[in-house]
């Protein structure tokens, strides 16, 4: 199966959670909006958003044969079993999906720190609000989320090597990306939190060293973090 991934070409964003799963699995896929091949590129993405029988509200979305699937966690729910990155048991799959949705919630909250008023305004136009939002995010919400994921890892009856079961799933891959993004955006806060949650940090490290993922991460296909992205490094928003 050849997959088509559709996402904004200049940022990692939410698309990266899907991209990392595809890369880790060695799946055959085209990154359509970044492709220069005829009929590909941004125009192809925008056309599909407009015309699809089942249109996505926003990227990322995935085309698999004649199915078009949007919403990051939903894409991974579909993709996981097909690329060997999901548990086999039905209850475990729901649990993995539940964790992925909780990761998605934290991603949204991390984004909203620099855009608390509106994603249609520039950061510079909502900076006082962002400063207030950041204080609460770094002191309350972020610690609460990471403590939760650490608890989940600690309660895995198969041990703390993976978040779900005894093998890597897309949730582990997403946890790596989540922590990478948070460390980029909030290095001071994360220094403290990483020390507090060593198990979680160790999980991210193991994921990053998986051969196909390591190869991807050091390739030009991995876009650098930047200040147009979901995770942004504005030092004034990080803890003192």
CA distance linking residue 27 with residue 34, whole number of Å: 17
Query: In 38-189, at which residue ranges do the beta strands (DSSP E only) sit?
Result: 61-64, 67-70
Q: Which of 3, 145, 176, 225 binds a copy of itself (CB under 8 A)?
A: 145
Task: Decide: is 224 part of the binding site for a copy of itself (CB under 8 A).
Answer: no
CA distance linking residue 185 with residue 7, whole number of Å: 21
Please identify, using beta-carbon distances, which residue of 27 and 79 lies nearer to a copy of itself.
Answer: 79
Contact in structure between 114 and 234 (CB atoms under 8 Å): yes
Please identify, using beta-carbon distances, which residue of 55 and 159 lies nearer to a copy of itself.
Answer: 55
> DSSP for 189-216?
HHHHHHHH-HHHHHHHHHHHTSHHHHHH
What does the block give as tokens for 192?
A: 């403290």
Contact in structure between 26 and 38 (CB atoms under 8 Å): no
Q: How far is the CB of 145 from a copy of itself (least distance, A)?
A: 7
Per-residue contact string for residues 24-53; x = within reach of a copy of itself by CB under 8 A = -----------------------------x
Please identify, using beta-carbon distances, which residue of 24 and 150 lies nearer to a copy of itself.
Answer: 150
Q: Which of 9, 44, 74, 233 binds a copy of itself (CB under 8 A)?
A: 74
Residue 186's SS3 state is coil
Q: Which of 136, 158, 188, 198 binds a copy of itself (CB under 8 A)?
A: 136
The residue among 193, 170, 212, 206 whose CA lies nearest residue 110 is 193
Contact in structure between 190 and 182 (CB atoms under 8 Å): yes
Per-residue contact string for residues 93-132; x = within reach of a copy of itself by CB under 8 A = -xx-xx--xx--x--x---x---xxx-xx----x--x--x
DSSP 223: P
Q: How many residues does the chain have?
A: 240
What does the block give as tokens for 98?
A: 């539940």
Interacting residues with a copy of itself between 156 and 175 (CB under 8 A): 157
Please identify, using beta-carbon distances, which residue of 172 and 213 lies nearer to a copy of itself.
Answer: 172
Size of the site for a copy of itself (CB under 8 A): 42
Q: How far is the CB of 159 from a copy of itself (least distance, A)?
A: 14
Interface residues toward a copy of itself, by CB under 8 A: 53-57, 67, 69-71, 73-74, 77-78, 91, 94-95, 97-98, 101-102, 105, 108, 112, 116-118, 120-121, 126, 129, 132-133, 136-137, 140-141, 145, 148, 151-152, 155, 157
């Amino acid at each position: 199966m050849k997959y088509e991934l559709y996402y904004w070409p200049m940022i990692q964003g939410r698309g990266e959670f899907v991209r990392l799963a595809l890369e880790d699995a060695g799946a055959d896929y085209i990154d359509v909006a970044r492709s220069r091949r005829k009929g590909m590129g941004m125009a192809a993405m925008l056309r599909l958003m407009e015309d699809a029988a089942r249109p996505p509200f926003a990227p990322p979305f995935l085309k698999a044969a004649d199915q078009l699937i949007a919403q990051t966690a939903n894409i991974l729910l579909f993709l996981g079993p097909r690329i060997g990155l999901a548990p086999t048991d039905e209850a475990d799959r729901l649990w993995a999906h539940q964790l992925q949705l909780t990761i998605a919630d934290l991603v949204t909250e991390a984004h909203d720190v620099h855009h608390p008023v509106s994603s249609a305004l520039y950061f510079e136009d909502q900076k006082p609000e962002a400063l207030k939002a950041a204080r609460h995010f770094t002191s309350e919400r972020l610690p609460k989320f990471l403590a939760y994921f650490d608890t989940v890892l600690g309660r895995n009856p198969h041990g703390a090597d993976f978040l779900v079961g005894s093998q890597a799933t897309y949730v582990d891959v997403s946890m790596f990306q989540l922590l990478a993004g948070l460390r980029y955006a909030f290095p001071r806060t994360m220094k403290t939190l990483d020390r507090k949650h060593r198990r979680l940090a160790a999980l991210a490290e193991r994921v990053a060293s998986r051969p196909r993922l390591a190869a991807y991460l050091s390739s030009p296909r991995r876009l650098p973090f930047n200040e147009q992205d979901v995770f942004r490094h504005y030092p004034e928003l990080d803890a003192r």
